[in-house]
Amino acid sequence: MSARPKINTSKSIAVCRLQDIVPNTGVCALVAGRQVAVFRLDDDSVHAIENRDPFSRANVLSRGIVGDLKGELVVASPVFKQHFSLVTGRCQEDPAVRVAVFAAWVDGDTVLVRA
C-alpha cells in the first residue's frame, strides 16, 4: 500500500461524514462560497470537482454518474452527458474544457475538502 501524499489541511472544510455519501455517487457542498461536487468511490476514496457543468451552465455534476471511460475515472454530466475526469477535471469529449478540481480526503469518518 503506497503512502498518501501530505495534504495541507489548514484551509480544509469538513463537508459531511463518509457514510453520508452512498458509494459511487456524489453530493454537493458549499466550500468557501463555491459549489463543489464530492464523490465517494467503492474503496471509500473521495474526489471533489466544481459542481457547475460548463456546457449547460447548471450546478448538476454532483448528480452525475461515476464511472470509468478509457481508463480514466469520470463523472458524466446528467444534462448533456459530457464526461469530466475526477482527477484532472478535463472533459473527455472536449479537452479544451475543464472544471476545477479540489483536494479531498477522509479523516476518521469526516470528508474534508481544501478551500
Domain architecture of the chain: domains with CATH:
12-114 (2.102.10.10)
Tell me, what's the pLDDT at 4? Answer: 46
| Euclidean distance between the first and the last CA atom of the chain, given in angstroms as a whole number | 28
The pLDDT tens digits of the residues spanning 25-34 come to 999 999 999 9
C-alpha span between 64 and 77 (Å, rounded): 5
Q: Which contiguous run of DSSP H or E holds residue 36? A: strand 34-40
C-alpha span between 66 and 68 (Å, rounded): 7
Backbone angles phi, psi at 61, to 5 degrees: -60, -30
Tell me, what's the pLDDT at 60? Answer: 98
pLDDT at 3 over 70: no
